[in-house]
A and B are shown apart, each in its own frame.
Chain A
Amino acid sequence: MATDVPVSDNPARDRHQLTTLILAIAILIGTFAAVFIAIAAATALNQYWFLHFPLGFVVLSQGVLFLVIALAFWFVRVQERIDQRRSETTELV
């Protein structure tokens, strides 16, 4: 039995919105998962030392922050590429 699959009137827009949503979810899950894992593991990690810092302390006070900075700039780069692809596709159409 054949089913009717609705055809989008603007596939470039739909692809752009889907990839944007996936990127946003990935960035936010990555950030918040890193923070919560660091909080949960802090006491255990504090048994080890890194550059004169207890490891759990240095992960929460610096490690996670470096990750957030990297994610922020990576997000900007990837999102610009996604926007650029939509712009090029729209121009071709």
Chain B
Amino acid sequence: MNGHPRLRTPNPHLGAYYGIVTSAIVSLAIMLAMLEQLGWSDAAIAEVMIVAPLGLYLVIAAGTYTQNVEDFFASGRRVPPVFNGLVLAATAIGGVGFFAYTGTIFFLGFDALAIGLGWTCGLLLAGVLFVPYLRKAGSYTVPSFLGHRYRSRYLRMAASVLQLPPTALLLAAELKVAAMVAALFLPLSFSGAVILVALVVAASVLIGGMRSLTWTGSAEFITGAVGLAAPLILISVLLTNLPVPQFTYGETLSPLHDAEITTGLTPIAPDASASPFPATAPLSVTKPFLEPFGALSEGEFALLFLSIALGTAALPSLLVRSGVTASVADQRRSVAWAVLIVALFAMTAPAIAAFAKVVMFQDIAKAPASALPAWVNELSSRSLLQAGDANGDGAIGASELHIARDSIALALPIAMRLPYVITALMAASGMAIALAAAGSHLFTLSASLAEDLYRAIDRRPTALPRLIAAWAAIGASALGACVFLLIADLDPLRAALTAFAFAGATFFAPLLLAIWWPRSTAQGAFAALGAGFITVVAATAMGAFDGGHAPMTTAIASLMGAGLGLVAGIAGSLIRSRTSEAEAAYCEDMRDPEGESIYDRAQQRAAAAAAAASATASGQ
């Protein structure tokens, strides 16, 4: 019944190609380090370190050009599990994780760990509950899976529309992070940086769809990993004498505690009237690093963790990659690799924050206000920091040191007085991860617009070929994100938390019912989608007007939306007496791990029928 799966062999030279990419990035950093010693200016070093990898990504994208539909939407279903894991991890972490999450740990310390835990457990949740079954179904997008599962064109269109808010928010957040880095290090205004970044992302997705996204994403991940690991290992050796920052930053916690006391930081209690999360503008630190549940209560910590876990598990930009490997087993393995990488990052981010905080706070605790360390002026000149002796006591206290949340990762090598090439490498690394994530969100948004909305509305196969519709959607989505960023002041962290809340509330329940409950019906899926989405929209709208605590309101709404969606989905399904035979067969087939994917078999049958009809017509 299932047919034998087509043999899909990955390119045997992938290891060599990505070995070359890694060597190129390492060589570029070493070469620029030598040129810095020979007198190259900081600006020139930063420009080369950021622009050269961008050129490399575009070359890789050009090399993966395709007009084949399966390659464009599913990367030919032959991506090895490790490479899919790299891109999944880059999409889950993104530039928001690299810059905003590390900054949030700097400000909140212990309490920010909920975010990293949520990402990691969310990926595991997706790997157990959804991903293997989506691979067997083989649909190119999450809305098309729901449409095929329930035999409902309208459900597919509704899911596509409801997928827009989380995906578009994440796309805008990642583009903003990448543009922020470009504007800091390249001779560009913020508007120019947004346009440059959007052009690079759109080009790398447009050329080969999921195929170019996979291979440029892998190169971007490697740049991100090398650019994060090398500086951090160096800093770890300098501060703790050991090259394993994840395990050795504990040595800095005691000096950090002393420096926090010297600079006037005292434990705080959760404040319901203020947002627990730092904003993007430079702020002072108000909470000691190790104090547990100072900004968030235990309950809020658990709610935030759950909201992010559900949002990650049901995030369309991650689930859209569920069809790219050769088999169900490979897809499962790729999620395990992604869990490993995201967990490693979640262990590393507190080390970055702790190192940055101990260096900065020890420096300002020792120095008088009249002779501040050089890094204060360096960061002030880039508008990333403000320090002044407001109370006139001759020293800078914690409340007088205002730091930009998203600059912590970049401020660390500057505060450590390392060669400038290290700062540039860190910037290129964060930008690479942001570009990989932005590409995934752009592809998810555009593929759904082209496949689930346009093709459902205009069903004439010759009106606009599939790939041209996808190219148009990619261009329009990138342009839309660009215009939005130019007119709106977006906080990437808040946008990402809201996007995860939308994804969890809207898609978790419908996907759970579609895969694990054969009795569920299209009416139930409609009810689940609608109930979840309306709950989170209502809460977000209220949160926008109630002052500071909006992110926690959104997290609670996300969990309420997922719960209500589940109840509505079960009730909606029970209203109709039975599921159709076709739906039951689809469910049965989806749970069988063997054989060709359901979508590919349907495509093969359609092609065979078209060929037979054509042969009959030519015979007559």
Q: Which residues of A contact B123 (CB under 8 A)?
A: 72
Q: Are B593 and A60 in contact (CB under 8 A)?
A: no
Closest residue of A by beta carbon distance from B302: A39
Report if A32-B121 is in contact (Cβ < 8 Å); known contacts: A54-B290, A69-B339: yes
Beyond known contacts A40-B298, A72-B124, A72-B340: 4 more, CB 8 A cutoff: A27-B124, A39-B301, A65-B343, A79-B332
Between A and B, how many residue pairs show CB distances below 8 Å?
Answer: 112
Q: Which residues of A contact B125 (CB under 8 A)?
A: 28, 31
| 9 interchain residue pairs of minimum CB distance | A52-B250, A53-B250, A72-B339, A65-B343, A72-B336, A83-B593, A76-B336, A24-B128, A52-B251
Q: Are A27 and B110 in contact (CB under 8 A)?
A: no
Q: B-facing mask of A40-53, CB < 8 A → 1, else 0?
A: 10110010000111
Q: Which residues of B contact A43 (CB under 8 A)?
A: 292-293, 298
Q: Are B250 and A76 in contact (CB under 8 A)?
A: no
B191 interface residue (CB < 8 Å to A)? no
Q: Are A68 and B339 in contact (CB under 8 A)?
A: yes
Q: Are A51 and B343 in contact (CB under 8 A)?
A: no
Inter-chain CA distance A35–B251, complex, in Å, is 25
Q: Distance in Å from the Cβ of A77 to the closest Cβ of chain B? A: 9
Q: Are A64 and B117 in contact (CB under 8 A)?
A: yes
Chain B residues packing against A (C-beta within 8 Å): 110, 113, 116-117, 120-121, 123-125, 127-129, 132, 246-247, 250-251, 253-254, 290, 292-293, 298, 301-302, 305, 328-329, 332-333, 335-336, 339-340, 343, 346-347, 350, 516, 588, 591-594
Report if A58-B593 is in contact (Cβ < 8 Å); known contacts: A35-B117, A69-B339, A71-B124: no
Q: Which residues of B contact A69 (CB under 8 A)?
A: 339-340, 343
Report if A61-B251 is in contact (Cβ < 8 Å); known contacts: A31-B124, A46-B292, A76-B336: no
Q: B-facing mask of A6-33, CB < 8 A → 1, else 0?
A: 0000000100110011001001100110
Q: Which residues of B contact A53 (CB under 8 A)?
A: 250, 253
Q: Could you say which of B127, B246, B251, B254 contacts A62, with CB atoms under 8 Å apart?
A: B246
Q: Which residues of B contact A58 (CB under 8 A)?
A: 250
Q: Are A13 and B254 in contact (CB under 8 A)?
A: no
Q: Could you say which of B247, B290, B594 contacts A57, with CB atoms under 8 Å apart?
A: B290
Q: Distance in Å from the Cβ of A36 to the closest Cβ of chain B? A: 6
Inter-chain CA distance A76–B527, complex, in Å, is 33
Q: Which residues of B contact A28 (CB under 8 A)?
A: 125, 128-129
Q: Distance in Å from the Cβ of B255 to the closest Cβ of chain A? A: 11
Q: Could you say which of B127, B128, B591 contacts A17, with CB atoms under 8 Å apart?
A: B591
Q: Are B124 and A68 in contact (CB under 8 A)?
A: yes
6 contacts between A and B (CB under 8 A): A39-B305, A61-B347, A68-B121, A75-B336, A76-B333, A87-B593
Inter-chain CA distance A81–B336, complex, in Å, is 16
Inter-chain CA distance A8–B429, complex, in Å, is 55
Q: Which residues of A contact B301 (CB under 8 A)?
A: 39
Q: Which residues of A contact B350 (CB under 8 A)?
A: 61
Q: Which residues of B contact A66 (CB under 8 A)?
A: 343
Inter-chain CA distance A79–B128, complex, in Å, is 10
Report if A86-B292 is in contact (Cβ < 8 Å); known contacts: A61-B347, A69-B340, A72-B336: no
Report if A72-B335 is in contact (Cβ < 8 Å); known contacts: A46-B292, A53-B253, A62-B246: yes
Q: Are B594 and A87 in contact (CB under 8 A)?
A: yes
Q: Which residues of A contact B346 (CB under 8 A)?
A: 61, 65
Inter-chain CA distance A66–B344, complex, in Å, is 9
Closest residue of B by beta carbon distance from A40: B298
Closest residue of B by beta carbon distance from A21: B516
Q: Distance in Å from the Cβ of A61 to the closest Cβ of chain B? A: 5
Q: Which residues of A contact B128 (CB under 8 A)?
A: 24, 27-28, 75
Inter-chain CA distance A71–B272, complex, in Å, is 36
Q: Which residues of A contact B292 (CB under 8 A)?
A: 42-43, 46, 56-57
Q: Distance in Å from the Cβ of A73 to the closest Cβ of chain B? A: 5
Closest residue of B by beta carbon distance from A52: B250
Q: Could you say which of B347, B516, B592 contacts A65, with CB atoms under 8 Å apart?
A: B347
Closest residue of B by beta carbon distance from A73: B336
